[in-house]
Amino acid sequence: MKFSSLVQRISGEGADAWNTHARARAARERGESVILLSVGDPDLDSPLEVVDRAIECLRAGDTHYTPATGRVPLRDAIAAQHRRRCGQEVDRDNVAFLAGAQNALFATSLCIAGPGDEVLALEPLYPTYPAALEVSGARMIRVPARADFRVDLAALEALITPRTRAIFFATPNNPSGVIMTEADIAALGQLARRHSLWVVVDEVYAGLAPQGHVPSLAATLPDQVVTISSLSKSHSMPGWRAGWMVGPKALITHVEALSLCMLYGLPGFIQEAAVTALGVAPAAEARMREYCATRCAVLLAGLDGIPGLRCFVPDAGMFMLVDVRETGLSGHDFMIELYASEGVSVIDGGAFGADTRGFVRVCFATDEPVLREACARIRRFVASLRTSSSLRTPSSASAAS
């Protein structure tokens, strides 16, 4: 039997990087002594008042159809948060509530580009981006970053062609944790205005940035900017699948039509809980920022002084990139061998693009004793490389990467 060519476009890249995570998760379920630092799923519970609200609504029978773009009180609450964060005057008609930020990214890509078009994506980028952005038939063009993982504006401009329709990026970035600066945002906005490009910004980690704020183009380019976010990271609610997009009203109309044939609305009790979550957002985000800052410091201290490892300290978020090239291993081999030797699961940086090959991404959003044990195991693993004389010189390691 034959399949559509679509199945090739949604197969994605970097799938191998998740194999180790899947093995580790299965091993943990079997009760084995493994440590997962490979996915951004904090060990914090969702806010109690949010859980209570969902249970209350579920027991009251809130299990029927809902509007395709979300209920009015929820869209009002999302619009209000967006106004405070981005300074853009929007209302409920600028908002679509969807099944997580990933769903919002997918829906946006389908509505703004298609076969023959090109979309630019700033590296490093999350491994699901290629499939989500090319599902429409458009071609995704990777824009390499500078050595510090910040946007290379010259490289970006050089890649713009008459076929270009959009620029996609995340701030704070996953995996680097870099927050786009005001100056870089302004320069990117000038390029978008000059070439009439959509700007699609993934701000799922924005609540984890200092004071819960990141520089935004939404107020200055209201007809071109689409802002994507969710409750997954800011409220430790990844399993609730509560995300959204904020954009021009015409785009939301198209997304509503797409949602009608894809989702047909989302659970009402989840939406009511999301309203409660947005109501406690300042406290929830402050809790998560403190949580991440503490654990980032624990990871830095735990990895300090390990020969061959260099840590890239994030501006925000729950991940740290660790340069492992001086161990003589690629990021992929470090990931594989660390898990085989010590049962610690991390992600190969190469899954996020060429700029992060030779790195691994480590999630520090976990219990502190577990994090300290993971650092001890990583230290032991790297020491074993030195003992077996497999540690190469920096020059040879760089050449191998």
Mean pLDDT, the chain, whole residue set: 93
For residues 138 and 73, state if they share a domain.
yes
Hey, which bits of 231-350 come out as E strands? 243-246, 310-312, 319-323, 344-345, 347-348
pLDDT at position 48, please?
Answer: 97
Domain housing 349? 6-45+283-384
Same domain, 38 and 126: no
Structure tokens at 284: 């929830």
CATH number at residue 39: 3.90.1150.10
| Section 149-163 average pLDDT | 97
pLDDT band at residue 360 under the 50/70/90 scheme? very high
Q: Which helix (H) or strand (E) holds 139?
A: strand 139-143
Q: How many domains does the chain have?
A: 2
Examine residue 241 and state whether it is found in any structural domain, yes or no.
Answer: yes
Residue 248 and residue 291 in one domain = no
* pLDDT band for position 236 (cuts 50, 70, 90): very high
Residues 118 and 259 in one domain: yes
pLDDT, tens digit (0-9, with 9 covering 90-100), for 67-119: 999 999 999 999 999 999 999 999 999 999 999 999 999 999 999 999 999 99
The last residue of a domain, from among 280, 307, 335: 280
Mean pLDDT computed over 28-51:
91
Please check the confidence at residue 16 and state whether its pLDDT lies above 70: no
Q: Does residue 394 belong to any structural domain of this protein?
A: no
- The strands making up 243-246's β-sheet, listed across from edge to edge, are 95-98, 243-246, 225-230, 198-202, 164-170, 118-122, 139-143
Together in a domain, 163 and 228: yes
Over residues 19-29, the mean pLDDT reads 85
* 261 and 362 co-located in one domain: no
CB 256 within 8 A of CB 104: no
pLDDT value for 6: 81
Confidence of residue 32 (pLDDT cuts 50, 70, 90): confident
The predicted model scores a pTM of 0.91
Residue 394 pLDDT class (50, 70, 90 cuts): very low
Judge contact between 319 and 41, C-beta under 8 A: no
Average of per-residue pLDDT across 341-358: 94
pLDDT score, position 400: 37
Examine residue 341 and state whether it is found in any structural domain, yes or no.
yes
Q: Please tell me whether residues 11 and 148 are part of one structural domain.
A: no
Stronger pLDDT, 392 or 54, i.e. the higher one: 54
Indicate whether 135 belongs to any domain.
Answer: yes
Q: In whole angstroms, what is the distance from residue 350 CA to residue 359 CA?
A: 7
pLDDT of residue 13: 61
109 and 240 both lie in a single domain: yes
- Assess whether 216 and 93 both reside in one domain: yes
pLDDT tier, 238 (very low <50, low <70, confident <90, very high otherwise): very high
Q: Residue 43: what pLDDT?
A: 85
Confidence of residue 395 (pLDDT cuts 50, 70, 90): very low
368 and 257 within one domain: no
pLDDT band at 8 (very low <50, low <70, confident <90, very high): confident
d(CA 147, CA 345): 26
Band the pLDDT of 401: cuts 50, 70, 90: very low
Distance CA 96, CA 9 (A): 25
Q: For residue 401, is it within any domain?
A: no
pLDDT at 10 over 80: no
Give the pLDDT mean for 340-364: 95
Higher pLDDT, 396 or 15: 15
pLDDT at 15: 60
Write down the pLDDT at residue 397.
Answer: 40
Residue 400 counted as domain residue:
no
Shared domain check, 299 and 377: yes
Least confidently predicted of 23-32, 322-331, 342-351: 23-32
* Domain-ending residue, one of 280, 306, 340: 280
CATH code at position 263: 3.40.640.10
pLDDT higher than threshold 90 for residue 239:
yes
Q: Work out the percent of the chain whose per-residue pLDDT is above 70.
A: 95
Could you tell me the end-to-end alpha-carbon distance of the chain, in angstroms, rounded to an integer? Answer: 41
Q: Examine residue 75 and state whether it is found in any structural domain, yes or no.
A: yes
If one compares 2 and 379, the residue with the highest pLDDT of the two is: 379
- Answer yes or no: is pLDDT of 154 > 50: yes
Q: What tokens appear for 331 in the block?
A: 């990021």
The verdict on residue 390 lying in a domain is no
Q: Does residue 219 carry a pLDDT above 80?
A: yes
pLDDT at 389: 54
- Whether 270 and 224 share a structural domain: yes
Domain boundary (280, 304, 324) is at 280
* pLDDT at residue number 390: 47
Q: pLDDT value at position 399? A: 36
